[in-house]
Structure 1
Amino acid sequence: MSAPLVISIPHRLGKDEAVRRLQNGLTRAAASVPVLKVDEERWDGDQMFFRVRALGQAASGHIDVADDYVRVEVVLPWLLQRFAEAAQAAIRSRGQLLLSKKS
């Protein structure tokens, strides 16, 4: 098993507003990426657990929402490890868009 990919995204929304914006955000984001399919998106308070599939490979992880940052942790299968850097940049970019003040 590979080490998890961890991304921390700062925000100024407060925990409740950040959770509100992120709910179903994974499904909306995946709709714009043809090779990504969401298998599970489950919230438990301020933590979301998810499982996605890309290129026939499953990845899973969770998102922890705090008052001033969001921490995303994803475990990629070995076949998707070569895309880890691109995945990290994409997750950070999408997260910053969802958590920007203007939404």
Structure 2
Amino acid sequence: MPQPIEVDLPHNLGKDEARRRIANNVHKLEEHIPGGAQVQSGWAGDQLNLDVQAMGQEVAATIDVEDSKVRLKVLLPGILGMFSGVIQSALQKKGGVLLEDHSKG
């Protein structure tokens, strides 16, 4: 049974700017996941759906963009559920990378 994790990342960007930044940064997720991850993503309104494959596991996740927060939801399959605390902590610490603005030189 998948182990769900939810993490809220507060922001003061507004929904449109947060969505733009996430769209610009989602390709960087592969750099933060060990084991040569492959990430596929697609938007459905203000929700980004992610399928992550790493270390022989497939993880489904969503990122819901709201006016003052971004909510990350991750379903950890099988044995990865044992690491839910560590993964949740990492998401809280590094999740803000998705909201960084790299559009200015």
TM-score by length of 2: 0.82
- CA deviation profile, 1:1-33 (whole Å, cap 9, x unmatched): 234111111111000110111115332122243
CA distance in 2, matches of 1:48, 1:58: 17
Contact conserved, 2:33 with 2:54, CA < 8 A, in 1? no
Percent identity between matched residues is: 37
CA contact (8 A) 2:7 2:72 kept: yes
Contact residue 25 and residue 99 of structure 2 kept, 8 A? no
Unpaired runs of at least 5, structure 2: none
Number of aligned pairs?
Answer: 102
Gaps of 5+ in 1: none
d(CA) in 2 for partners of 1:62 and 1:32?
Answer: 17
Q: In structure 2, do the counterparts of structure 1 residues 26 and 35 end up closer, same or farther at CA, with 3 Å as the change threshold? A: farther
Q: Measure the CA separation in 2 of the matches of 1:73 and 1:34.
A: 19
TM-score by length of 1: 0.84
When the two chains are superposed, the root-mean-square deviation of aligned CA atoms in Å is 2.0
Return the alpha-carbon distance in structure 2 between the equivalents of residues 72 and 16 of structure 1. 17
Moved over 3 A (4+): none
> Are 1:27 and 1:38, in contact at CA under 8 Å, matched by a contact in 2?
no
- State the partner residue of 1:95: 95
